[in-house]
Amino acid sequence: MSEPVSSATSEPRRDTPQRRLVRDRLASSDSFASAQQLFDGLRSDGEKIGLATVYRTLQAMTDAGEVDTVRTDEGEAMYRMCGTAHHHHLICRDCGLTVEIEGPSVERWATQAAQDHGFTDVTHVVELFGRCASCSGH
């Protein structure tokens, strides 16, 4: 996984049954999931929802800032429900376990780097990838 994506807007969205299904499925996992994985899980639970609806719902939730999105090395978007405060992710390359982390030193570094180069209104996203304790046998 690589290349984080984010695009929060303040526009409120309707809370549809499909949106609740996708939100509940995302909330039940500690890992990022693709639209296809979410669709497959919902269908295996007997839910009548289309793949296009899952994609549209995820895009709306991303636009509303309800989910975080990262892209795999292959370019596939992966989604996860996250807290609303600024944070970063530590993501297991093997199982996808994701932990939200704070990085005060990263925040200071980003601010200083921007100032040093005359940049203003700077945002950043940091994603760390590795192997979790379970996958590395610890």
Helix (H, G, I), strand (E, B) or coil at 58: helix
HSE-CB at 37 with a 13 A cutoff on CA atoms is 13
Task: Report the candidate in 5, 77, 18 with the shortest Cα–Cα distance to residue 48.
Answer: 18
Strands 33-34 and 67-71 come out as: unpaired
Q: Do the Cβ atoms of 128 and 4 come closer than 8 Å? A: no
124 is in an annotated binding site: yes
82 is in an annotated binding site: no
**Residue that the structure tokens 């639209």 belong to:** 35
Sequence-distant (≥ 6) Cβ neighbours of residue 130 within 8 angstroms:
90, 91, 92, 93
Q: What are phi and psi of 68, to 5 degrees?
A: -95, 150
- Per DSSP, 31 falls in state B
Q: Which residues are annotated as a binding site?
A: 86, 92, 95, 107, 124, 132, 135
Q: Which residues are annotated as a binding site for Fe cation?
A: 86, 107, 124
Q: Which residues are annotated as a binding site for Zn(2+)?
A: 92, 95, 132, 135
